[in-house]
């Protein structure tokens, strides 16, 4: 089996103290790392992509469609297409998000 090429994407400022790095992508799927300082926010937004989120480190308060919950390392969940969602970092940490299809606006 041939080695897969490893994509190299720059880390960008996603706003509110958050840093975003695309880790891998194809037309059907994208993996993105988001690094948050304590108090960093992912402003409420929605998009047509289905998103899964995995907490690599830190603690976060997420709100999806007006329902809030706290999560920590090892937790994961899925955000449906079109759902309004956002978060705040209760502690500095890292989220690994996957999107289907790919978020072309991140490229």
- The pLDDT tens digits for 72-101 are 999 999 999 999 999 999 999 999 999 999
User: 59 and 52 in contact (C-beta within 8 Å)?
Assistant: no
Q: Which pLDDT band holds residue 1 (cuts at 50, 70, 90)?
A: very low
Q: How far apart are CA 63 and CA 18, in angstroms?
A: 17
Does residue 7 have a pLDDT over 70?
Answer: no
Q: pLDDT for 27-65, tens place per residue?
A: 999 999 999 999 999 999 999 999 999 999 999 999 999
CA angle in degrees (0–180, nearest 5) for 76-14-49:
50
The structure tokens 């994208």 sit at 30
Please give the residue that has the higher pLDDT: either 65 or 4. 65
What predicted TM-score, i.e. pTM, was given to this entire model?
0.92
- Residues in Cβ contact with 85 at an 8 Å cutoff, skipping those fewer than 6 apart: 42, 44, 45, 46, 51, 62, 63, 64, 65, 79
**DSSP designation for 65:** T
- Residue range 11-106 in CATH 2.60.120.10: yes
Does residue 4 have a pLDDT over 90?
Answer: no
């Amino acid at each position: 089996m041939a080695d897969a090429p490893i994509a190299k994407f720059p880390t960008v400022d996603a706003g509110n103290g958050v840093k975003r790095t695309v880790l891998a992508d194809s037309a059907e799927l994208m993996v993105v790392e988001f690094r948050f300082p304590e108090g960093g926010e992912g402003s409420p937004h929605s998009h047509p992509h289905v998103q899964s989120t995995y907490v690599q480190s830190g603690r976060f308060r997420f709100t999806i469609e007006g329902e809030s919950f706290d999560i920590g390392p090892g937790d994961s969940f899925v955000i449906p297409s079109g759902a309004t969602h956002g978060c705040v970092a209760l502690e500095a940490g890292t989220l690994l998000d996957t999107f289907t299809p790919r978020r072309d606006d991140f490229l």
